[in-house]
Structure 1
Amino acid sequence: MLTDARGITPGGRVSADVCVIGTGPAGAVVAAELAHRGVDVVVVEGGGQRFGPRQADTYRGETVDPHDPLDAVRQKRLGGTSVVWGGRCSPLDDLDLGPREWLDSAGWPVSGPELEPFYRRAQRHLQAGEYEYSAARSGFPLFAPLPSETLDVDSTWRWSPPTSFAGRMRALAGAANVRLLVEATVVRLERDPVSGAITEAVVAPRPGVEITVVARTYVLAAGGLESARILLASDRQSPAGIGNEYDQVGRHYMTHPVGEVGTVVLSELGRNLALGYVATRDGVYARRKLALTAAAQARHELGNLKAALWFPDPMDPSHGDGLLSTFSLTYYALNRARLGFKSAGTHARYASTSGLGQHIGNVAHDWRRVGRFAVSWAAPRITGGRILPSFMPLDGATCRLRFDAEQSSDPANRVTLSRDRDQLGQRRLQVHYGVSTDDRARIRRSMELIGEEFARLGYGTVDMADAARIDDMPFTDGTHQMGLLRMATSPRQGVVDADCRVHGSANLYVAGSAVFPTAGAVGPTLTIAALACRVADHIAAERSVREPLAAS
Structure 2
Amino acid sequence: MIIDARTVEPGTAFDAEVCVIGTGPAGAAAAAELASRGADVVVLEGGGKGADREALDTYRGVAGTGAHDPLEAVRQKRLGGSSATWGGRCAPLDDLDLDAREWVPDSGWPIPHAELRRYYPRAQRHLQAGSCEYSAARSGFPESPVPASDVLTWDDTWRWSPPTKLAPRITALATGDQVRLFVHAGVARFDRDPLGGAVTAAVVVPRPGVEITVRARVYLLAAGGLESTRILLASDTDGGAGIGNEHDQLGRHYMTHPVGEVGRIVPTDAGRALALGYVSSGDGVYARRMLALGRRTQEAHRLRNLKAALWFADPKDPAHGDGLLSTFALTYWGLGRARLGFKSAGMHAQYTGTTGIARHLRNVVADLPRVGAFAASWARPRLTGGRILPSFMPLDGAHCRLRFDAEQSPDPANRVTLDRERDALGQRRLRVDYSVSAEDRRSIVTSMRMIGGELQRLGLASVDLSDVEEVLDMPFTDGTHQMGLLRMSESPHTGVVDTDTRVHGCANLFVAGSAVFPTAGAVGPTLALVALACRTAETAFATARNRVQAGTGSSTAS
Q: Per the shorter chain, which TM-score range?
A: over 0.9
2:218·2:543 contact (CA, 8 Å) conserved in 1? no
Give, in whole Å, the separation in 2 of the partners of 1:221 and 1:434. 25
Task: State the shift of 1:540 in Å.
Answer: 2.4
The 1:106–1:81 alpha-carbon spacing in structure 2 relative to 1, beyond 3 Å, is closer
2:39·2:178 contact (CA, 8 Å) conserved in 1? yes
Aligned to 2:49: 49
1:354-503 aligned within 5 A? 354-503=355-504
- The one-letter code of the counterpart of 2:234 is A
Question: Per-residue CA shift, 1:325-355, capped at 9, x if unaligned?
Answer: 0000000111111111110100001111110
Question: Per-residue CA shift, 1:503-544, capped at 9, x if unaligned?
Answer: 000100000010000000000000110000000111223344
Aligned to 1:12: 12
Identical-pair percentage: 66
1:347-358 aligned within 5 A? 347-358=348-359
Task: State the shift of 1:546 in Å.
Answer: 4.6
Question: Per-residue CA shift, 1:182-222, capped at 9, x if unaligned?
Answer: 00010000111111100000000011111001000001100
Question: Per-residue CA shift, 1:422-447, capped at 9, x if unaligned?
Answer: 00000000000000011100111011
Question: Per-residue CA shift, 1:332-381, capped at 9, x if unaligned?
Answer: 11111111111010000111111000000000000000000000000000
Q: Does 1:27 align with 2:23?
A: no
1:190·1:237 contact (CA, 8 Å) conserved in 2? no
Give, in whole Å, the separation in 2 of the partners of 1:145 and 1:170. 49
Question: Per-residue CA shift, 1:77-108, capped at 9, x if unaligned?
Answer: 01101101000000100000111011124411
Secondary structure at the aligned position of 2:200 is classed as strand
Aligned to 1:216: 217
CA RMSD of aligned residues (A): 1.2
Secondary structure at the aligned position of 2:72 is classed as coil
1:487·1:496 contact (CA, 8 Å) conserved in 2? yes
Give, in whole Å, the separation in 2 of the partners of 1:287 and 1:468. 27
The 1:550–1:52 alpha-carbon spacing in structure 2 relative to 1, beyond 3 Å, is closer
Aligned to 1:74: 75
Secondary structure at the aligned position of 2:73 is classed as coil
Give, in whole Å, the separation in 1 of the partners of 2:299 and 2:235. 41
2:135·2:155 contact (CA, 8 Å) conserved in 1? yes
Task: State the shift of 1:142 in Å.
Answer: 3.1
Task: State the shift of 1:397 in Å.
Answer: 1.9
Give, in whole Å, the separation in 1 of the partners of 2:488 and 2:396. 44
2:217·2:544 contact (CA, 8 Å) conserved in 1? no
Question: Per-residue CA shift, 1:200-246, capped at 9, x if unaligned?
Answer: 00000011111001000001100000001000000012511000000
- The one-letter code of the counterpart of 1:337 is A
- The one-letter code of the counterpart of 2:13 is R
Aligned to 2:90: 89
Task: State the shift of 1:549 in Å.
Answer: 5.4
1:252-331 aligned within 5 A? 252-331=253-332
Point out 4+ residue stretches in structure 1 off by more than 6 angstroms.
Answer: none
2:107·2:410 contact (CA, 8 Å) conserved in 1? no
Secondary structure at the aligned position of 1:332 is classed as helix
The 1:234–1:442 alpha-carbon spacing in structure 2 relative to 1, beyond 3 Å, is same
Question: Per-residue CA shift, 1:432-471, capped at 9, x if unaligned?
Answer: 0000011100111011110111111110111111011011
Give, in whole Å, the separation in 2 of the partners of 1:548 and 1:81. 37
Q: Does 1:115 align with 2:119?
A: no
- The one-letter code of the counterpart of 1:344 is A
Aligned to 1:61: 61
Q: Which region of structure 1 is more displaced relative to structure 2, 371-380 or 46-55?
A: 46-55
- The one-letter code of the counterpart of 2:207 is R
The 1:550–1:228 alpha-carbon spacing in structure 2 relative to 1, beyond 3 Å, is closer
Aligned to 1:234: 235
Q: Mind listing any 5+ residue stretches in structure 2 that lack a counterpart? A: 553-558
Give, in whole Å, the separation in 2 of the partners of 1:170 and 1:271. 44
Give, in whole Å, the separation in 1 of the partners of 2:353 and 2:360. 13
Task: State the shift of 1:392 in Å.
Answer: 0.1
1:145·1:153 contact (CA, 8 Å) conserved in 2? no
- The one-letter code of the counterpart of 1:278 is V
1:192·1:237 contact (CA, 8 Å) conserved in 2? no
1:170-189 aligned within 5 A? 170-189=171-190
- The one-letter code of the counterpart of 2:22 is G
Aligned to 1:164: 165
Give, in whole Å, the separation in 2 of the partners of 1:146 and 1:486. 40
Aligned to 2:104: 103
- The one-letter code of the counterpart of 1:34 is L
Q: Which region of structure 1 is more displaced relative to structure 2, 98-107 or 537-546?
A: 537-546
The 1:543–1:186 alpha-carbon spacing in structure 2 relative to 1, beyond 3 Å, is closer
2:508·2:543 contact (CA, 8 Å) conserved in 1? no
1:256·1:521 contact (CA, 8 Å) conserved in 2? yes
Q: Does 1:517 align with 2:518?
A: yes
Secondary structure at the aligned position of 2:159 is classed as strand
Give, in whole Å, the separation in 2 of the partners of 1:237 and 1:32. 34
Give, in whole Å, the separation in 1 of the partners of 2:114 and 2:213. 40
Give, in whole Å, the separation in 2 of the partners of 1:543 and 1:67. 39
